[in-house]
Every structure is written in structure tokens, then in C-alpha cells.
């Protein structure tokens, strides 16, 4: 070999020797690229295993949930009188439009004939010109005198005719012979004349317009100089002996007061007492009344029954202020007698018809009840809730019959749990895991 060949062989050997290490490093690099994701996955799996191993073990699905906590109050029985608060507008029991009964010009009115004027029964409120009616009375009296004279003459002539017939001795006299028809006609004419006189005197008396009852004038519609005819209104007036208040009553109200539809007060059952109040002139005034009747029909739109409260002598001097028509008042109706009812907080009544009673085993009993009376603070029951029972006063979501609860009294102390509280079968395992 020449020198060139030796140099080439030497370079080849050197290159081969240098290529061996470089191929090993490449193989290791390729293995590292494929092994890196596997190492990462193994590390993540180990970390998750460590987290699950050190975390608290959750309760098994078989463990029962803790009963929800509810606040309760103890219902207590006490003697009480049912009362009911209602509102209404005062109106007179009797109100009438006073009208003239004869025609004529008004020539005089009473000083009391004014809005708000007070008058007594039969008092003259106004007078109509009575000249024509006085003349009519004079003519009627003259006609009566003429009729009386004609009747007396006919009676005398009839008596003479009877005597003449008897003198002839012909037996029973016929009616025409003794002037019986003429006598009957004279009597009829006298009766007609007397009736005309009474009519003229009645018209004359009606020229004085009188009050039909004791009361007050609400509205005056005629004055001196006005010409009025029969039926012309001259005033609107109302009686002051009794004032009425029409109050709305629901079916629950009727049940609580124990009065039926169409109730009418009697001596044996005078109806519930009513304390009527109204704020007028910056002061609260009170009148005593009584629910005397309820209407015999139900309002088709509101489903209400209206009762009538009567207040006697609303304008009497013993009252600091009169109970005037149009006043808006409040009335508290009270039952006739005291009775023993069970009282509970107002929040114990759910949806106005249900009560949740906590039984001794700390489960609830859902009861549908009707409250005898409901106020802003409490509710009273005649039945449905017994004395000493625990009633739920807090909000309970999705209640159901027999639902287990954790009762808490108003002081915030938990009530004693029942002994038969179920325990999970694997309780020891859960404790060990904790």
C-alpha cells in the first residue's frame, strides 16, 4: 500500500471508532423520549393514590341523613272570648225623602229645616199656603150641613108617611109608601159630604209638612217661595234612634262566631256584642252596639256574607261625639261566652289551614285544622291541637307525614332524640376510617 491508502484506512478506522459512542447516545435519547410520558402518568397516579389514601373517608350511602332541625312552641289551653275585628261604614237605619202631599207655595220653614238640623217626630218643618184648602174645608162643612138638614127632613116625612099608612089600616106598608128610598139617598148624601169634609181637612193639615220621625236633616231641597206639588221632595232626613254598620264576614268568621247565614237576633240570642271605634277630631271615640242580623245571601263575587251592627242612640249626649252617617269605623265583635281554646304562635298556622305537630318520637303529624281566631301574634283552636302539644313555628321545606325532625325549643336547645334512632350497620368501619 502506498501512503495514500494508509492514510485513508487510518481515517476510516478513526471515523468508525468515533461513530460508536454517538450511536449509543442517540439510542438512549430515543428511549427517554418514549419513557417520559409513562413516568409522568405513574407519578400522577401515585399522587392521586396518596391523596385518596390520606383524605377522610366519606360516609357510605347507606347512612341515614341527619333529620332537619325545626323550632317548636308548646300550645297552651286557656279560657278566652272569641273576638273579631271588622270594618264598615255607618249608615242610618231609617232614611227618607220628605215630600209635599199637596200643591202650593212654601210660605214658611222651620229654623231647624237646614242641613244638620235636629227635629222631633211630628214637628212642623215647612208650611204651604193653605188659603185654598181652608176654603175647601168651609165648603165641605156647608155641604155637610145641607146634607144633615135634608136627611132630617126626609126622616120626618118618612115618619108621617108611616103614620098615614097605619091610619088606613092596610097592613104592612111598602117601602116606597114610607119613603125608604128617599131616606137612604139622604143618608148617602150626608156620608159623601162628611167624607169630602174629612178630605178637605186632611189636605189642610197636609199643608203643614211634618217630620215622620225624630232625626236630622241631611239635605234641604226647598225654601220659602218655592212652588211644590204632590210628591215634590223638600228634604232628605234620617232617624237618629239607631245607626247601622254593614260589615263583611267570611265563612271562617261565621264559624268562629258561631252564627249562621240569615241570622236574626232574638231575646234568647241577642247576637255578639260590638265595640265600635272611630278616630275623629284627633280623638278615638267608642260606641257600644250589637250584631243583630246577617244577610240571607252570599255575595257571588266576593263570597262574603254581610252582617249588620246596630248602635242605639248614636247622637245621645252621653257620647263625646255622635256616630254620624258616612263615618268609617272599626268594630270588634265578641262572642257571647268564654270558652277554653288552645293558643299557639301565629307562625304555627301554615298556609292558613295546616299545623305540624311534633310527636313524642320526634316525627311530625301534618294536621288540617280550622282556626277559631287568628291575630297578628297568635292563633286559637277549638279542636285539632291539644294542650301541651309541640307545634312547628319555623319554616319546614317539603313536610310529609311521619317525617323525622330535630326539634329545637325557643331557647335554642335541642330536644331529646328518640332511643330508637337507627344506626348504620358499618358504623365501626366508618369510625376506624375517621
**Cell numbers linked to 29:** 435519547
Calpha distance 87→335 (Å, rounded): 17
Contact call for residues 236 and 98 (beta carbons, < 8 A): yes
Query: Do residue 27 and residue 108 come from a single domain?
Result: no
Q: pLDDT tens digits for 401-433? A: 999 999 998 655 555 444 444 444 343 333 333
Number of domains in the chain: 4
Q: Are residues 233 and 249 in the same domain?
A: no
- Looking at residue 171, which CATH number applies to its domain? 2.40.50.100
Q: What is the CATH number of the domain that holds 264?
A: 2.40.30.170
Closest CA to 381 of 336, 344, 332: 344
CB atoms within 10 A of CB 251: 13
**Residue 152 and residue 233 in one domain:** yes
**Contact 199/211 with Cβ under 8 angstroms?**
no
What's the pLDDT score for residue 16?
44
Question: Residue 186 is placed in which grid cell?
Answer: 139622604
> Residue 36 has what pLDDT?
66
Give the pLDDT of residue 372. Answer: 85
First to last CA, the chain: 87
277 and 402 both lie in a single domain = no
Biggest distance spanned by C-alpha atoms of the chain: 220
Choosing from 299, 334, 369, the residue where a domain stops is 334
Does residue 193 lie in a domain region? yes
Residue that finishes a domain, picked among 310, 334, 358: 334
pLDDT at 150: 92
Domain boundary among 312, 334, 356: 334
According to the model, what pLDDT value does residue 158 have? 86
Only one residue has cell 265600635, namely 276
Q: Are 112 and 227 within one domain?
A: yes
CA angle 13, 18, 24 (to 5 degrees): 130
Give dist(CA 356, CA 399) in Å, integer: 8
Position 431 in a domain: no
Is residue 96 within 8 Å of residue 212, measured between CB atoms?
A: yes
Predicted confidence at residue 11, as pLDDT, reads 45
318 with 330, same domain: the answer is: yes
Specify the pLDDT at position 3.
46
pLDDT in the model for residue 132: 94
Residue 374 lies in a domain: yes
Together in a domain, 109 and 232: yes
Secondary structure of the chain in the HEC alphabet?
Answer: CCHHHHHHHHHHHHHHHHHHHHHHHHHHHHHHHHHHHHHHHHHHHHHHHHHHHHCCCCCCCCCCCCCCEEEEEECEEEEECCEEEEEEEEEECCEEEEECCCCEEEEEECCCCCCCCEECCCCEEEEECCHHHHHHHHHHHHHHHHHHHHHHHHHHHHHHHHHHHHHHCCCCCCCCCCCHHHHHHHHHHHHHHHHHHHHHHHHHHHCEEECCCCEEEEEECCCCCCEECCCCEEEEEEECCEEEEEEEECHHHHHHHCCCCCCECCCCCCCCEEEEEEEECCEEEEEEEEEEEECCCCCCCCCCEEEEEEEECCCCCCCCCCCCCCCEEEEEEECCCCEEEEEEEHHHCECCCEEEEECCCCEEEEEECCEEEECCCEEEECCCCCCCCEEECCCCCCCCCCCECEEECCCCCECCCCCCCCCCCCHHHHHHHC
Query: Which pLDDT belongs to residue 172?
Result: 79
Tens of each residue's pLDDT in the chain, 434 residues: 444 444 444 444 444 444 444 555 556 666 566 666 766 677 777 777 767 666 555 455 555 678 888 999 999 999 988 888 999 999 999 999 999 999 999 999 999 999 999 999 999 999 999 999 999 999 999 999 999 999 999 998 888 888 888 888 777 778 887 788 889 999 999 999 999 999 999 999 999 999 999 999 999 999 999 999 999 999 999 999 999 999 999 988 888 888 999 999 999 888 899 999 998 878 899 999 999 999 999 999 999 999 999 999 999 888 888 999 999 999 999 987 788 899 999 999 998 889 999 999 999 999 999 888 888 889 999 889 999 999 999 988 888 899 999 999 865 555 544 444 444 434 333 333 33
CATH number at residue 360: 2.40.420.20
Evaluate whether residue 419 is within a structural domain. Answer: no
* 281 and 222 assigned to the same domain: no
Q: Which residue range forms the structural domain that includes residue 28?
A: 1-55
In this prediction, residue 64 carries a pLDDT of 64
The answer on 222 and 107 residing in a single domain is yes
Based on the fold, state whether residues 216 and 253 are members of the same structural domain.
no
Residue 421 lies in a domain: no
121 and 181 share one domain: yes
414 assigned to some structural domain? no
Co-location of 133 and 222 in the same domain: yes
Q: How confident is the model at residue 100, as a pLDDT?
A: 95
Q: Is 276 contained in some domain?
A: yes
Q: Does residue 117 belong to any structural domain of this protein? A: yes
pLDDT tens-digit readout, 287-331: 999 999 999 999 999 999 999 999 999 998 888 889 999 999 999
Amino acid at each position: 500500500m502506498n501512503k495514500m491508502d494508509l492514510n485513508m484506512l487510518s481515517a476510516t478506522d478513526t471515523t468508525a471508532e468515533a461513530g460508536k459512542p454517538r450511536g449509543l447516545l442517540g439510542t438512549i435519547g430515543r428511549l427517554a423520549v418514549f419513557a417520559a410520558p409513562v413516568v409522568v402518568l405513574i407519578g400522577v397516579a401515585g399522587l392521586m393514590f396518596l391523596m385518596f389514601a390520606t383524605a377522610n373517608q366519606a360516609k357510605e350511602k347507606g347512612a341515614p341523613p341527619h333529620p332537619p332541625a325545626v323550632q317548636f312552641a308548646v300550645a297552651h289551653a286557656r279560657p278566652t272570648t272569641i273576638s273579631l275585628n271588622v270594618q264598615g261604614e255607618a249608615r242610618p237605619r231609617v232614611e227618607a225623602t220628605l215630600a209635599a202631599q199637596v200643591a202650593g207655595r212654601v210660605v214658611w220653614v222651620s229654623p231647624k229645616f237646614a242641613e244638620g238640623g235636629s227635629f222631633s217626630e211630628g214637628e212642623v218643618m215647612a208650611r204651604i199656603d193653605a188659603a185654598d184648602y181652608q176654603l175647601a174645608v168651609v165648603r165641605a162643612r156647608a155641604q155637610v150641613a145641607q146634607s144633615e138638614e135634608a136627611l132630617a127632613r126626609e126622616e120626618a116625612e118618612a115618619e108621617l108617611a108611616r103614620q098615614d099608612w097605619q091610619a088606613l089600616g092596610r097592613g104592612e106598608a111598602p117601602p116606597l109608601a114610607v119613603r125608604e128610598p128617599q131616606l137612604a139617598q139622604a143618608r148617602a148624601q150626608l156620608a159623601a159630604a162628611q167624607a169630602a169634609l174629612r178630605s178637605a181637612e186632611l189636605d189642610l193639615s197636609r199643608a203643614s209638612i211634618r217630620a215622620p220621625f225624630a232625626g236630622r236633616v241631611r239635605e234641604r231641597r226647598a225654601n220659602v217661595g218655592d212652588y211644590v206639588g204632590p210628591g215634590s221632595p223638600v228634604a232628605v232626613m234620617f232617624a237618629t234612634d239607631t245607626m247601622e254598620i254593614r260589615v263583611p264576614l267570611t265563612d271562617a268568621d261565621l264559624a268562629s262566631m258561631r252564627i249562621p247565614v240569615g241570622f236574626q237576633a232574638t231575646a234568647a240570642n241577642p247576637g255578639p256584642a260590638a265595640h265600635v271605634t272611630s278616630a275623629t277630631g284627633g280623638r278615638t271615640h267608642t260606641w257600644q252596639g250589637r250584631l243583630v242580623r246577617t244577610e240571607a245571601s252570599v255575595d257571588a263575587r266576593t263570597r262574603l256574607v254581610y252582617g249588620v251592627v246596630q248602635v242605639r242612640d248614636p247622637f245621645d249626649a252621653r257620647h263625646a261625639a255622635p256616630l254620624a252617617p258616612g263615618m268609617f269605623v272599626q268594630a270588634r265583635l265578641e262572642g257571647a261566652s268564654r270558652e277554653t281554646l288552645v293558643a299557639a304562635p301565629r307562625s304555627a298556622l301554615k298556609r292558613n289551614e295546616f299545623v305540624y305537630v311534633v310527636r313524642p318520637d320526634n316525627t311530625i303529624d301534618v294536621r288540617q285544622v280550622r282556626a277559631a281566631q287568628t291575630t297578628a301574634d297568635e292563633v286559637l283552636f277549638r279542636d285539632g291541637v291539644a294542650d301541651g302539644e309541640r307545634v312547628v313555628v319555623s319554616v319546614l321545606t317539603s313536610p310529609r307525614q311521619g317525617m323525622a325532625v330535630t326539634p329545637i325549643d325557643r331557647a335554642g336547645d335541642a330536644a331529646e332524640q328518640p332511643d330508637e334512632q337507627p344506626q348504620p350497620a358499618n358504623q365501626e368501619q366508618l369510625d376506624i376510617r375517621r
